[in-house]
Structure 1
Amino acid sequence: MSCPKVYVIVLMTYLSVVAAGMEFAQLRHLKANAPPGKQAQAARDLIGRLIKERASDFVVLVDETIGPKDRDTFQLSSTVNGGIQIVGTTGVAVAMGFYHYLKYYCNGQRTWAGQQTQLPPTLPVITSPIRITTNDKFRYYQNVCTLSYSMAFWQWDRWEQEIDWMALHGINLPLAFIGQEAIFQRVYLNLGFTMKDLNEYFVGPAFLAWGRMGNIFGWGGPLPQMWITNKLLLQHQILERMRSLGMIPVLPAFAGHVPSAITRVFPNANVTQLPTWSHFNSTYSGNYLLNFQDPLFIRIGQLIIEAMTDEFGTDHIYNCDTFNEMDPSSSDPQYISDAGKTVFNAMVAGDAQAIWLMQGWLFLHSTFWQPPQVKALVTSVPQGRMIILDLASETSPVYQKHESFYGQPFIWCMLHNFGGTDELYGAVDSINKGPFAARAFPNSTMIGIGLTPEGINQNEVIYEFMMENSWRNETRDVDAWVESFAQQRYGYKSDPVSSAWKILMRSVYNASDSHRDHNTVIVSRRPNVGYAEQQDTWYKPEDLFVAWDNFLQSAHDLEGSQLFHYDITDVTRNSLQLVALTYYANMAAAFKSKNTTIILQAGTNITNLLADIDRLLSSNNRFLVGQWIADARLWGTDAGETALLEYNARNQITLWGPHGEIHDYASKQWAGVIADFYKPRWQFFTQYIVELIQNGTYWNTETFGERIMSAVEIPWTFQSFQYPTEPVGNSILIAKELHAKYRPVTREPFFQILGRANKKKQAGKGRSLYYKKYSLL
């Protein structure tokens, strides 16, 4: 498709900057270190990967003097020969400038699901140079869990695409955690630990995030040595590319968790065994934590930083989380202050310029963290030497409750996603206003915005919207913005699909009742007789169904768009998961009245629906479990490693533990999983509750869980059937067919009642986020 004629959204040649109220001299050394020429070349290469030979139409320069220090600036102007000149303070700034031009002059877009980057033969002219400066110093990216839920099995080609995406969206402070097991292994072996000790300590490839945070040990392992070595090599590629673009990678540090063999290697070590995490027992949880007064803590921490620096170099910023979802053994502020000092001093022992970047999730997950405890931890480090990620600012900002973190700098983050699940969800009103409110907060210490989803590859509109907060100087008219978004996404203006996106942004993407995107989707949760149908909808279902109608009305106009095929699959999938609610409601009512005929019919309806969803998802390459499993297997170097990797991949997205400890938390609505895991579960459940009625016995959740795990869930995780990695069928045609079949169902009174109930419900009032995160398992 050719790009429509240019329309201009920037009405001034210079956008004013909405800056936070405080600068931190201690952070000035956190900056791009690659020479300007190298950054410019990296940006040129990025542009070439997106638009191929048309990259020659763009002149790229890096000049750090064109804008204020500690913030990124880009300038766009037309050249005399019809090209576009992009000048940026860093390579990232240049990439931001290119993406701004692509979106707002050529109606283009680059997202996880694909790209619309076809340029017109003649580039639209910029009549007057445009200069845009970011509001803050930093744009952060990744949750420590993203590396496991989404990125666990990526090779370099996929990492290259993601780093491009980061730069285009302005990310200059990315987490860089790949390959750290090689460094920890090297240090521990030099200290006297054995390979057997470390094989029992390191977790499997799909669960590294939680091993690194001290939640579990050993589960999913042993970690193959070739994995450790190859990930080290991959980290070198990742860091080289990030730094060449002017990014500031965040490396890992020592949090204090150690192998249990420490009591043998260092008999006098002062250690505490932590409580078990989530629903795990002591077989794989209850890690050892070095006492903060033990000199060995500083020693190991120093060795880790020094070994990391020797291998990778350093940009002087490190992340570690000592108390992730695990309360300290004492609430005494002095104990907590000592803990923070020791963690930081261990970093400084290896790097005198070290900055500690800390996830603020711990302040949300339990009632343990009251103001005295929070203040004790964050002020244990000199002011400006710790940066806190206010991890879920769009739903649960912490800075407001704790005086802007008592003077420590923080980053306003959008968490958005838990477990890498697929549900359509967003809190757009909060995202639109929240960063501005945080910058205006009394004595604000905000220094950036960030993306901290546990998983990616979903809800792309929300991430596009959020990242424009890096330079927007006021809140947006969401309707006007999303109309532009739709045209950028498809390269074509279609009124029905524009209307659909507007409806979605007012409903599905505007959760304002404290609802968070925990996985409560009925089709992908273990069945239960007590499921509350309204817990997964914060909007009127008819809004989603009308948007579905409108997408299909645009199908003829947009059938050539890769991104439209993805979107119609996604919207249809989410609509059908809601249809399952009415079938389940019939089944639950019939169970109470002991009507086995209705139970069997409702069960058939659900399993037929799941078969239809699986067929739909099979038509789009972004919804195939085969790709996830194939990516995992590719890391294996022999049959044993390949089997271990496949088991890790299968277990994480289903049972999440040997006995379903966190089952369905990271569920995926992918073709293959729907057909061979979720559908058989519902078939088993249907027959099971019929037999309960026939035998005159009562429902017991624990007994049912044991039986379905044995009959359906565990066997699937050990299978080795290789699912397709290529799509089959036409997403639009299948969506039309399913719309004709199921749209009449959506007009049943059930959905009208559900819509009215959503206006009244309060989501999880008075409960911690940790409770809501895992309580439904």
Structure 2
Amino acid sequence: MMTCTVLRCCGVIFLTHLFFSRTVAKEFPTLDHIRTKVDDGTQQRTVEDMIFRTVGDRFSDFSVTVDSSFMPSGKEAFQLDTVDGKIVVRGTTGVAAAHGFNHYLKYYARCQVSWTVQQVDLPGVLPPVSPAVTIVTSNRYRYYQNVCTVSYSFVWWDWPRWERHLDWMALSGINLPLAFNGQEAIWQRVYLSLGFTQKDWDEHFSGPAFLAWARMGNIRGWGGPLPPSWHQTQLALQHRILARMRNFGMIPVLPGFAGHVPAAITSLYPKAAVSRLQWGRFKDPYCCTYLLDPQDPLFSHIGGMFISEMIKEFNGTNHIYNADTFNEMRPKSSDPSYLTKSGAAVFAGMLAGDPQAIWLMQGWLFVSDRDFWQPAQTKALLQSVPQGKMVVLDLFGEVEPVYNTTDSFYGQPFIWCMLHNFGGNLGMYGTVHTVNQGSFLARKYLGSTMVGTGLTPEGIDQNYVMYELMNEVAWMPQPVQIMDNWAADYAWSRYGVKNANASLGWQILLRSVYDCEKGFKDHCDSVVVKRPQLHKTQRSWYKPEDVFSAWDHFVSASNDLGLVDSFRYDLVDITRQALQEWAYMNYQDLMETYNTGDLNKFRDAAGVFQQTLTDMDRILATHQNFLLGRWIEDAKSLATNDQERSLYEFNARNQVTLWGPNGEIVDYANKQWSGLVADYYSERWALMIKTLTTALMEGKKFNHTAFQQDVFQQVEKPFTLANKTYPYYPTGDTLQIAKELHQRYRRRTW
């Protein structure tokens, strides 16, 4: 006979019991050694410390136990109960216990802890849990991070910022995070011992804001060189990050050797077999990185040296390593035998340093270049490693899953992921339906080798609602049944009180802007943040009126919720989104008046358009999460001298604008931040309007090529080289400005 508890929340009926329902997914004993190696007592104390950091003196209202043996099935689980007035949290791991605590916060105490804004106003008397609740996850791993996240979001973080984020990771139930900090210091030791010089090294790795792509061999040297203080700081930070991850019961994923080497290898080792890889529009000296041939004996030697040195430095390993050799770069040959040898070489390098190594690979290459990665090529790479010795991230699973076109990655275990974000863009976007359903469909797929779920955004601090949903789905036995109910619960926990307008606002958003059926890679395609051009269309999967309607509800809720920081963040965000929609309407008017040749009407339309950008900057300035000044000042704070400060500021400015010396990926990492809107996006549009005005007055056609050169020389490049100081703290009243803008703009749409 089976005992169970029925728990109703967030539109789902959780059927929880001690023997969780069997799934069709295959088990992989080869992964059994990929686990936490920290005892239950250490994990328990780590969770207790996290709870104290989260709720302060109310910590005494909770009791935590980590007991790895309390689930006979061996699956991860947590249990909530009330005993003698205390909320008792029990977990099979520290992560499970932390997630159980978070479940209580959200669905009993009505609190929410998110990336950078939180609401933890606990009620005076904590609501009891009765009867006891046990929730089990079928997902062995809950992965987190894209290899790009470390550059788009984490690059300037110090330990206090990391500590808070690690708490969030544990609360979110994440147990398989990427841990990439400090690796350049290890690589430096390896390459110097192989005879490379400091100059060779400086020319190889890029500056801090571009390290992710230097690590993957996409670029070399851009934004560098890295100063010695960077290595020291990041190495010390990595020690603390790894210790905390492990003490929570997480399984850190360390970097491995993918085959990319400094250019000096051709002179230092003239017999080494190398090829060159091209990425995007970068040119020498920043492009065409060098890749060791898989059969060259140096390959496994360098790979083994790096893994061994890293294990020594960080006091052990959890045996799982990430390496991506062909990320957005075509191999020199499509011959399956070459691809098999390439994969085998990467894995051999890992084994040379750790005989128990498991290779974790991002599956993005199979999405970004489907023409090359046909079945024969894909199978050759995936089967270059013994089955169960590679874990593949189905990186863009919510939009373009690969498992269902590759027979479940040809037998290799995979993790179904929600990528969601590119470049850290801030526009509202989501695929709520596929996020809700996708991982369950992947698990039911015939012959499924799915072993978990994951979050793989390129950048964070945006669209919080999608990540809350995905983290909950990872622990659910079935999809959310009534999304409107989940949205209402989300609003209640995010703001701490029930509010009809807030609930309605979120329900509208989840039915529209957050329900993009097919998904867009370039979903933040606003005219605000893209280099100005004529006749630009703005792809949209929702009706702008839905955004305006949700805006109405948020403004109406502001009288009751205005003191809640998470609400003020959301009010800024929805106002920003509404002004983005209005800017596109203004843009269409601007283009229409230009095409008709009416100079006076064009000038009027231009004034309205530019005022919209000014108003966007005003509302963004009222919340700390939308400030350019934070990004730049955080970068400068890591410097130890003026030269480093200048380098770091340049890195910070270039990444979010030109992304390269000549705008190779211009606007890819665009951010609607106060300061950036006023001094970069608005200035580009001012030049565009001036150019169009001159064309109308002189009866000439607009020269797009000439304008691109002008805007690069007059606005974009000077901005990346400037050193203007921007506010670190918000200015202006969010509620007052949001209401003012709503009254002014909304009446034009009714």
Same fold, judged at TM 0.5 (above) = yes
Which residue matches 1:502?
507
Counterpart CA distance in 2 for 1:98 and 1:599 is: 58
* Change in 2 beyond 3 A, CA 1:256/1:591: same
Deviations 1:344-379 (A, max 9, x none): 111111100000000000000111111111111001
Residue 177 of structure 1 contacts residue 252 of structure 1 at CA under 8 Å; is this kept in 2? yes
TM-score by length of 2: 0.97
In 2, the alpha carbon distance for the partners of 1:466 and 1:422 equals: 18
Q: Match of 1:65? A: 69
Deviation per CA, 1:372-425: give whole Å up to 9, x if none.
111110011000000000001001001000000010000000000000010000
Which SS does the other structure have where 1:416 is aligned? coil
| CA pair 740-437 structure 1, distance change in 2 beyond 3 A | same
Return 104-113 or 161-170, whichever deviates more. 104-113
1:482 paired with 2:523, answer no
Offset, 1:283: 2.3
1:601 is aligned to 2:604: yes
Alignment of 1:303 with 2:308, yes or no, is no
User: For 1:696 and 1:280, how far apart are their aligned partners in 2?
Assistant: 37
Contact 2:14 2:477 (8 Å CA) reproduced: no
User: 2:660 matched to which residue of 1?
Assistant: 657
Q: Provide the rounded CA distance (Å) in 2 between the counterparts of 1:53 and 1:20.
A: 45
Percent identical pairs in the alignment equals: 50
- Partner SS state of residue 196, structure 2: coil
- 1:320 paired residue among 316, 319, 323: 323
Query: Residue 744 of structure 1: CA displacement?
Result: 2.4
Contact 2:209 2:652 in 1 (8 A): yes
Q: 2:645 aligns with which of 642, 659, 667?
A: 642
Secondary structure of the residue aligned to 2:63 is: strand
For residues 590-625 of structure 1, what are the alpha-carbon distances to aligned partners after superposition, in whole Å with 9 as ceiling and x for unaligned?
Answer: 332333323322221121111111111111011011
Query: Alpha-carbon deviations, 1:250-275, whole Å to 9, x = none?
Result: 00001101110011211111111212
User: 1:29-108, aligned counterparts within 5 Å?
Assistant: 29-68=33-72, 71-80=75-84, 82-108=85-111
Q: Are positions 1:267 and 2:267 aligned together?
A: no
Cα pair 1:579 1:746 within 8 Å, conserved: no
Shift of 1:209: 0.4
Work out whether residues 625 and 723 of structure 1, in 8 Å CA contact, stay in contact via their aligned partners in 2. Answer: yes
Equivalent-residue separation in structure 2 for 1:45 and 1:734 (angstroms): 39
Counterpart CA distance in 1 for 2:357 and 2:626 is 41
Contact in 2 for aligned 1:391/1:414 (Cα 8 Å): yes
Cα distance between partner residues in 1 of 2:195 and 2:73: 47
Cα distance change, pair 373–56 in 1 and its aligned pair in 2 (3 A) = same
Give secondary structure in 2 for the equivalent of 1:657.
coil
Q: 2:16 touches 2:136 (CA, 8 Å); kept in 1?
A: no
**1:348 and 2:351 correspond:** yes
Matched with 2:4 is none
- 1 CA distance for matches of 2:523 and 2:384? 33
1:218 is the counterpart of 2:221: yes
TM superposition shift of 1:519? 3.1
Report the counterpart of residue 766 of structure 1 in structure 2.
none
2:210 paired residue among 207, 212, 216 = 207
1:165-564 correspondence runs (5 A):
165-275=168-278, 277-312=279-314, 313-366=316-369, 367-476=371-480, 477-533=482-538, 535=539, 537-564=540-567
1:663-674 superposed matches below 5 A? 663-674=666-677
User: 2:141, 2:23 → 1: CA distance?
Assistant: 12
**In 2, Cα distance between the equivalents of 1:692 and 1:68?**
76
**Offset at 1:13?**
5.4
Residues paired across the two proteins, number: 738
Amino acid at match of 2:419: L
CA contact (8 A) 1:12 1:130 kept: no
2:328 is paired with a residue whose SS is coil
- Structure 2 residue identity aligned to 1:390: D
What is the identity, as a one-letter code, of the residue corresponding to 1:727?
P
Q: Secondary structure at the match of 2:51?
A: helix
2:697 aligns with one of 694, 697, 701: 694
User: In 2, Cα distance between the equivalents of 1:685 and 1:272?
Assistant: 43
The CA distance in 2 between the partners of 1:517 and 1:71, in whole Å, is: 38
8 A contact 1:17–1:471 mirrored in 2: no
Which residue identity lines up with residue 147 of structure 1 in the other structure?
A: V
Counterpart AA for 1:381: V
The two structures, once aligned, show a CA RMSD in angstroms of: 1.4
Q: Name the residue aligned to 1:725.
A: 728
Residues in 1 aligned to 2:258 and 2:43: alpha-carbon distance in whole angstroms = 33
Contact 2:319 2:358 (8 Å CA) reproduced: yes
**Where does structure 2 lack aligned partners over 5 or more consecutive residues?**
1-6
Contact 2:509/2:547 (<8 A) preserved: yes
Residues 395 and 516 in structure 1, CA contact (< 8 A), matched pair in contact too: no
| Distance (Å, rounded) in 1 between the aligned partners of 2:704 and 2:269 | 45
